[in-house]
A = this chain, B = another copy of it.
C-alpha cells in the first residue's frame, strides 16, 4: 500500500530527478501552492526555474469539521513549476503518475480544458484539469500572466491534489481513511486539527479582530512595496489574503466588500510582482536568462513530384478545448483555401478534421507545380525609348538590361490610356507544389488563432494550446515546413500510452485509415457515431437508453474530448434516485460529462455512460468513475436530506445571513424587494392605478404565495454547494414542502434565464418574479453607483440586462412593463428600503439595458440600420423586437422603400418642433390637397393607437406617391408665412403619424430591388 507520505516522497524524487529544486511549503498560510513565492514570484521575469514542493493549502471556506469526505480546510497540493516549458510537460507529468504506481494503460487519463484565473493575483493561465477515471487529480496550467504581468517565458504549473489521488489509489471514500503513514490514518494524524480549524474558520474567529488584521497586513504590504522590498510585501499580501478568506468563511464579507478587497489585493499583488521583476533585473538575474529554442532552419530544398497527389497537413497539439476542436478544423479549411487561392497551384477538395490532439487537412489532387505564367513589365514611353531613327535610346537600353532582355528590339509594346510604351514580357515558370505547400502550410500554422490564445516555449507561436509537431506530406514526399521553432516531419503521435506512440506516415493517402488502425479517429462525425451507438448499446444492456437528441450538446463536447471513444457503462446506488433528476443530471453533465441513462418513460436509471479515451481496463475505469460520481452524489444526498428538514419559510429567513451588498442590505432584503416589485407590477392595488400586468386569479394567487418565498433556496445547503441549482432546488423544495405546483414552478422560474440564450420562465408569475429579480439588481447597483466599468462586472449586470430583455421579449403579457416602468417600480422598492435612488441613475440603468439589447440584436445578425431604427422603441423590447422582425421582411419591398424614402424626405424638411396640424383651406395646390387627403385616408385606415410597423407599412404605403408629388411641385418655404405654416403643418402631421412606428431617419436609404 502506497501511503500518502510515500506518494509525496515519490513525487519529490521524481521531480528532483528532472532537475527541480525542492522547495518547502511556505511558512504563512496560503490558499494554494501557486501563492508560494516559489511559484508566484519566480514565474516572473526571464530566469529559468524548476521547482517542486508540497503545499498545505488552506481554504477556510472549505472547512466542514472533517465531516465531508472530500472537502477540507487544509488539503495538500503538490506543486511543480517548469520554467521554461520543457516542450514535453504532459509526458513528464504522465511519468510522475507512473512514479506513483498508476498504470497508465489501465486507467483513463484525460486533459480536460480548465483555464485558471486568480483575480486576487492578477494572474491567469490556460490548461487542463487532469482526470483519472473521471476524478480531477491535477491542475495543469500554462501560466500566462501573474501580478498583471505577461510571463515570458511561460511556466508550466502542475498542481496535484494529493488527498484525491490517495483516495483513488487506496480506494477509500473518506479522506480520513487515507493511510498517511504506516499504521496511521489521515484522520488519526490530522482529524482533530481539521475539526478545530473548521470551528475557527466557520464559527469562532473574531470578525472585528480579523478585519483589523486584514487592514494591518494590507498597510504593511503597501509600506513594503514603497520600501522596494517585494519579498516581505508578498508575505503581507498573503496574510492579508488569508484574513480575507477567514472573513469570507465567517460570512462577514458583502459583495461590495469583496470587490473592494479583491481590488486592493490585486493592486498589491500587481505592485509586488512588478517590484520583484524589477529587483531581479537589478540583481542581474542571478539564475540566468532563459534562451528560447532556436528557430527551425528554413527548408534548404524542395523535392519535385511528377503528378497530382494528395497533400496532408497534420498540426499536432496538446489537448484542445472541446469547443475549439470544431472551430479549429473549420478555420484551417478556410485559411488553406484562402492561402492556396493566392498561389497558382491547382488542387481539389480541401477536407479538414480535428481531434483534441490534432488538426488535419487533406487536399485532393494537388498539381505537381504551379503552371507557368507570363508577366508584362511596362518600360519607358515608346517615344522616349527609340529615337527618330528607331534606334533604342539609353532609356530603352537601360530598361532592356534591367529586364534581362538582350536585344532592345525584342522589347514588346503595350498601350495604356492611349499612350504606347515598350514592355518586357517575363515568364514565371511556377513553383513546385512542395515549395508552395511549404510556404502555405507555414503561414496557416503561424496564423492559427482561437478566441483565447496562449504562449508556450515557442518564441513566436500563439494558440489556444501548444502546437507540438507538424506532419506535412505531398503524396509520399515530405513537405518541409519551418514555423518559428517547429519543423515538419513524417511522423505523427498516437495515444501516449500506446506501445509505439510515434509512428511514421508513409503517404498522405490512407492517412485516416492508418491513424484509425492506431486508434485515432480523426473524423468527429465518426467519433460521435461511435459514442452514440456505443452508449446506446450499453444503456440497452441496462434496460435503458440515452437521449442523443436531448444530450446533443453534451455528446458534441464529449466527441471533442477523445480521439478514440470508449463508452463505459457505470452505475450508482439506487438510493440516490430519491434526489431530483436535475440534481443528478447536473452533476453528471456539468462535473463529469457523463451521459444519463433513462428508461422508456424518460425516468433516470441508476446508470451512466462515461466515454473513455482509447483502450483501458474497463473495470478499473468503471470503478473509478463510479466512485467519483458516488462521492458527488453522497454530498448531494447529504445536502438534500438536510435541506428537507427546513421548510422554505425558515430558509427564506436565513437569507438575512447571506451578505449581498453593503448598501443594499442582505440577500433577504433583496428577496423582499423582488417580491415587492413583482407585486407592484402585477398585483391589484386599490390605492393606485391598475396593475401594468393583468393576471388571472390563479396566477394572482400563485404570485402572492411565491413572492414572499423568492430566492429562499439560496440559503439551502445544496445551492450553497452547487450554485447552478438555484431555482431548481427552489422548485423541488417548495413542492416537497407542500406548496402548490404553480408556486413551485414560479419560484423555480425566478432564476431563468441562467445565461444568455438559456431557457426562459415558463409561467407568467415566474416571468414576473424573474423580471423583478433583474430589475432589482440593475436598479440597486446603479443606484449605489456600482455599475459595470470596463471589463469588470462583478454583479453580472450585463447578464441581468439581457435576462430582463429576454423575458420581456418572450412574454407578450409583459409588454406594458417598459424598462422605465419596471425600473421605476424597482426604484420605489429601494426607496422603501431607505436606499437613495437618484432619478438620473435609473435613466442610466435603462440606457445600459437598451445598449445591451442593441448589441444583442446586432450580434444576432440584424442590419445595423434596422436596429438603429427600432431602438427608440426599445423601452418595450418586445415591441422593438416585433418591429425589427417586420422591418426585416419589409426592407426588400419596393413599396416600403418608397414609403420610407418619402417619410425621410418629410423628416428632412420639417424643422424640429414644428407643430402638426394645418388649415386645409390654405392648401389649394392640387399636390397639397392630394397629400392632405391621402393623409386623412391613411389616418382613418390606421385608426387610434400605435400601429405595428407591418400595419403601418401596408396602410401608409399610399402616402409615398402624394408625398413625392408634393415635393416635386410645391415649394414649402414660400414667402407667404401662413401658407408656409400650413404646408409645414401638413408635413409635421405626417411625421407625427409615422414617428411612433419607427425611427425612419435611422433607417437610411433602402434600395428596392
Binding site for B on A (CB under 8 A): 5-6, 8-9, 12-13, 16, 19-22, 24-30, 37, 54, 56, 58, 74, 76, 180-182, 184, 187-189, 191-193, 196-197, 199-200, 204-206, 209, 212-213, 216, 219-220, 223-224, 227, 229-232, 235, 279-280, 283, 286-287
The answer to whether A204 and B192 touch (CB under 8 A), given A22-B5, A24-B25, A209-B219, is no
**Is B220 a contact of A216 with CB atoms below 8 Å?**
no
Tell whether, in the assembled complex, residue B9 and residue A196 are in contact, meaning their CB atoms are under 8 Å apart.
no
Point out the residues of chain B lying under 8 angstroms from A191, CB to CB: 286
A205 smallest CB distance to B (angstroms): 7
Instruction: For A184, list chain B residues within 8 Å (CB).
Output: 21, 287
Q: Is A204's CB under 8 angstroms from B216's CB?
A: no
Residues in B with CB closer than 8 Å to A216 are 209, 212-213, 216
Contact B182 A283 (CB under 8 A): no
- A286's nearest neighbour on chain B, judged by CB, is B188
When C-beta atoms are compared, the residue in chain B nearest to A223 turns out to be B206
Jot down 27 A-B pairs with beta carbons below 8 A, ordered by A. Answer: A5-B22, A9-B13, A16-B181, A20-B181, A21-B180, A21-B184, A22-B181, A24-B24, A27-B27, A27-B29, A27-B30, A27-B56, A27-B74, A192-B279, A192-B280, A192-B286, A196-B230, A197-B232, A199-B227, A199-B232, A200-B235, A204-B223, A205-B232, A206-B219, A209-B220, A212-B216, A213-B216
Q: How far is the CB of A554 from chain B (nearest CB, A)?
A: 40
What residues of B have a CB within 8 angstroms of the CB of A209 in the complex? 216, 219-220
In the complex, residue of chain B having the shortest beta-carbon distance to the beta carbon of A57: B27
Contact A28 B25 (CB under 8 A): no
Docked pose: A633 CA to B180 CA in angstroms: 47
Compute how far the CA of A258 lies from the CA of B209 in the bound complex, rounded to whole angstroms.
24
| Contact between chains at A232 and B196 (CB < 8 Å) | yes
A27-B56, A181-B22, A191-B286 known; A224 and B212 CB under 8 Å? no
- Contact B58 A27, beta carbon cutoff 8 Å: yes
| Interface pair B21/A181, CB less than 8 Å apart | yes
Contacts of A13 in B (CB 8 A): 9
A204–B220 alpha-carbon span in the complex (Å): 9
- A21, B231: Cβ atoms closer than 8 Å: no
By a CB distance below 8 angstroms, the chain B residues around A196 are: 229-232
Known: A58-B27, A181-B22, A220-B205. A229 touches B213 (CB 8 A): no
For the complex, would chain A's binding face be called helix, strand, loop or mixed by DSSP majority?
helix
Contact B19 A182 (CB under 8 A): yes
A199 to B231, CA, bound (A): 10
Chain B residues positioned under 8 Å from A205 (CB to CB): 220, 232
Residues A232 and B54 in contact, CB atoms below 8 Å apart? no
Q: A27-B58, A192-B279 are in contact. List 6 more A-B contacts (CB 8 A).
A: A37-B193, A192-B286, A196-B231, A196-B232, A205-B232, A206-B220
CA of A54 to CA of B25 in the docked complex: distance in angstroms? 10
Q: A224 contacts B197, CB within 8 Å?
A: no
Chain B residues whose CB sits within 8 angstroms of the CB of A199 once the complex forms: 227, 229, 232
A204 CB to closest chain B CB (Å) equals 5
In Å, the complex CA distance between A227 and B200 comes to 9
Shortest C-beta distance, A24 to chain B (Å), equals 5
Q: How many angstroms from the CA of A451 to the CA of B28 in the assembled complex?
A: 41
Q: Which residue of B lies closest to A204 (CB)?
A: B227
Contact partner, A22, options B9, B16, B22, B204, Cβ 8 Å: B9
- Neighbouring B residues of A232 by C-beta, 8 Å: 196-197, 199-200, 204-205
Q: How far is the CA of A24 from the CA of B77 in the complex (A)?
A: 12
A821, B56: Cα distance in complex, Å: 64
Indicate if the CB atoms of A193 and B231 lie closer than 8 Å. yes
In whole angstroms, how far apart are the Cα atoms of A246 and B456 in the complex? 42
- Highest count of chain B CB atoms <10 Å: which of A13, A192, A227, A235: A192
Q: Is the CB of A231 within 8 A of B181?
A: no
Whether A192 contacts B231 by the Cβ 8 Å rule is: yes
Within 8 Å CB of A8, what residues of B? 22
**Complex alpha-carbon distance, A805 and B841, angstroms:** 85
Q: A29 to chain B: which residues have CB within 8 Å?
A: 27-28
Instruction: Indicate the member of A56, A184, A187, A197 with the most B CB atoms within 10 Å.
Output: A184
**What is the CA–CA distance of A188 and B47 in the complex, to the nearest angstrom?**
11
Which chain B residues border A229 with CB–CB below 8 Å?
A: 196, 199-200, 204
Residues of chain B within 8 A of A212, CB atoms compared: 212, 216
CB distance from A255 to the nearest CB of B (A): 26
B24 touches A54 (CB 8 A): yes
Q: Would you call A200 and B213 a contact (CB within 8 A)? A: no
Q: Which residues of B contact A74 (CB under 8 A)?
A: 27
Chain B residues closer than 8 Å to A279, beta-carbon distance:
192
Contacts of A227 in B (CB 8 A): 199, 204
Query: Contact: B197 with A231, CB < 8 Å?
Result: yes
Kindly identify which residue among B187, B204, B224 contacts A204, using a CB–CB cutoff of 8 Å: B224
Q: Which residues of B contact A187 (CB under 8 A)?
A: 286
Q: Is the CB of B25 within 8 A of A25?
A: yes
A224 to B180, CA, bound (A): 28
Q: In the assembled complex, how far is the CB of residue A288 from the closest CB belonging to chain B, in whole angstroms?
A: 9
The one of B6, B12, B21, B189 that contacts A189, using a Cβ cutoff of 8 Å? B21
User: CB distance B22 to A283 under 8 Å?
Assistant: no
Given A192-B283, A204-B232, the answer on whether A16 and B5 have CB atoms closer than 8 Å is yes
Which residues in B have their C-beta under 8 angstroms from that of A287?
Answer: 184, 188
Docked CA distance A298–B688 (Å) = 103
Contacts of A180 in B (CB 8 A): 21
**In whole angstroms, how far apart are the Cα atoms of A205 and B12 in the complex?**
35
Report chain B residues within 8 Å CB of A213.
213, 216
- The smallest beta-carbon distance between A698 and chain B, in angstroms, is 53
Given the complex, which residues of B lie within 8 Å of A182, measured CB to CB?
A: 19
Shortest A206–chain B CB gap in Å is 6
Q: Roughly how many angstroms separate A180 CA and B22 CA in the complex, as a whole number?
A: 9
Docked CA distance A343–B856 (Å): 110
Which B residue's beta carbon lies closest to that of A182? B19
Residue of B nearest to A229 (CB): B196
CB-CB under 8 A from A230, the residues of chain B are: 196
Bound-state CA distance A58–B27 (Å) is 9
Q: In whole angstroms, what is the CA distance A235 to B243 when docked?
A: 13
How far, in Å, is A81 (CB) from chain B's closest CB? Answer: 13
Return the 10 tightest CB-CB contacts between A and B, nearest first: A200-B232, A196-B231, A21-B181, A5-B22, A196-B229, A188-B286, A193-B231, A24-B25, A209-B216, A27-B29
